[in-house]
Amino acid sequence: MSMTTRAAVCREPGRPWEITELELDEPKANEVRIKFMAAGMCHSDDHIQKGDAQMRFPVVGGHEGAGIVDAVGEGVTRVKVGDHVVCSFIPACGKCRYCSTGRQNLCDEGKNASTGEFPDGTFRFHQDGEDFGGLCVLGTFSQHAVVSEYSVIQIPDDIPFEIAALVGCGVPTGWGSAVHLAGVKAGDTVVIYGAGGVGSNAVQGAALAGAERVVVVDPVEFKREMATVFGATHTFASAKEAHDFVVESTWGELADHAIITVGSLHDQVIADALQVVGKTGQVTITAVGNGWVDEHPGMFIGYQRRVQGGIFGGCNPLHDVPRLISLYRSGKLKLDELVTRTYKLDEVNQGYQDMLDGKNIRGVIIHEH
């Protein structure tokens, strides 16, 4: 048996998102079907649509999503029908080498993120005999989707879906970039490049960790203003202004950490970040794009500087997602303020244009049922 679902799909790189109806299979063993209520509009989906990142096409967009479990396959133990859940854009099987050593963000079950293919080599979305993969084997831009139980985390029923959706990618990726990957400590000086949906949470993570100076670099005035809401102590429109401030305020010792969360990684921001950190300083690269690390080894050897790449903020979703929700409920983590605008599914292309125009910290699709 199958059902029909309405979804935003991209048929080939460079084509806009298209709203269409797809056939959706029933969940198989260890799979669940989710009735999505909200989906976050992450920049990664735009990279896919633009052809800037590898993906199998056609694809159902969306990897941030929250909703209600409305069907389960055989053997499912993590959730049951009726549970409110958020999707983790990287699954956590709990059994592979990386999950079993506390590195769930590197779970082996995430291997098909760029194809949308299930481990048995099949797909759950179809149209006229053609298979559609869900981005990260999710596809939250669909009203319904079938996903692995490893990709779902139960949430309290009182958490708004539009808030919960963001805790599956953007929030832990940014927050964890500061807390886990950078390991920010009390009294540190941290420079964050890019204050969008991920960078705003890197700001929150650095502030919660006790950084003395949380310095944000972003050319968009609105994002700089919002960064102060999330805990930035100083904001600048250019990297040079930030560098000059760091030199002066640290008496030339420079920053302890630089975190790169710009919309699209490029050579210059990497160079700026390397120049702003001092002895034993670390540059954490979370942004994706086409930038290259082009620096003489002496820059790393003499001052013991480090460059750290990271995915999902180094988070363990089964632990960190509930913890972030708990911080939100206690008032220590701002999530409502991240949602600048909400959109209907039909408005997905407008939502991404607003993001590119610098109007949004995060846009969220509210599914209509």
The span from the CA of 337 to the CA of 95, in Å, is: 36
The pLDDT tens digits along the chain (369 residues) read 789 999 999 999 999 999 999 999 999 999 999 999 999 999 999 999 998 888 999 999 999 999 999 999 999 999 999 999 999 999 999 999 999 999 999 999 999 999 999 999 999 999 999 999 999 999 999 999 999 999 999 999 999 999 999 999 999 999 999 999 999 999 999 999 999 999 999 999 999 999 999 999 999 999 999 999 999 999 999 999 999 999 999 999 999 999 999 999 999 999 999 999 999 999 999 999 888 998 889 989 999 999 999 999 999 999 999 999 999 999 999 999 999 999 999 999 999 999 999 999 999 999 998
Query: 161 and 210 in one domain?
Result: no
CATH number at residue 302: 3.40.50.720
The span from the CA of 175 to the CA of 200, in Å, is: 8
HSE of 346, CA atoms in CB hemisphere, 13 A: 1
Both tokens assigned to 116: 């949308």
Query: 289 and 338 in one domain?
Result: no
Does residue 321 lie in a domain region?
no
Query: 133 and 10 in one domain?
Result: yes
Query: 262 and 185 in one domain?
Result: yes
Domain of residue 269, residue span:
173-311
Active-site residue list:
42, 44, 47, 63, 169
Does residue 293 lie in a domain region?
yes
Query: 233 and 195 in one domain?
Result: yes
The span from the CA of 351 to the CA of 362, in Å, is: 9
Does residue 54 lie in a domain region?
yes
Does residue 324 lie in a domain region?
no
Q: Using an 8 Å Cβ cutoff, are 227 and 216 in contact?
A: yes
Query: 302 and 217 in one domain?
Result: yes
Query: 12 and 124 in one domain?
Result: yes
Query: 305 and 190 in one domain?
Result: yes
Does residue 344 lie in a domain region?
yes
Query: 298 and 257 in one domain?
Result: yes
Does residue 325 lie in a domain region?
no
Query: 215 and 114 in one domain?
Result: no
In sequence order, what are the beta bridge partners of 60? 9, 134
AA identity, residue 42: C
Query: 158 and 182 in one domain?
Result: no
Query: 153 and 8 in one domain?
Result: yes
Does residue 242 lie in a domain region?
yes
0.75 exceeded by pTM: yes
What pLDDT is recorded for position 168? 95
CATH number at residue 72: 3.90.180.10
What pLDDT is recorded for position 1? 74
Counted domains in the chain:
2
What pLDDT is recorded for position 54? 85
Does residue 318 lie in a domain region?
no
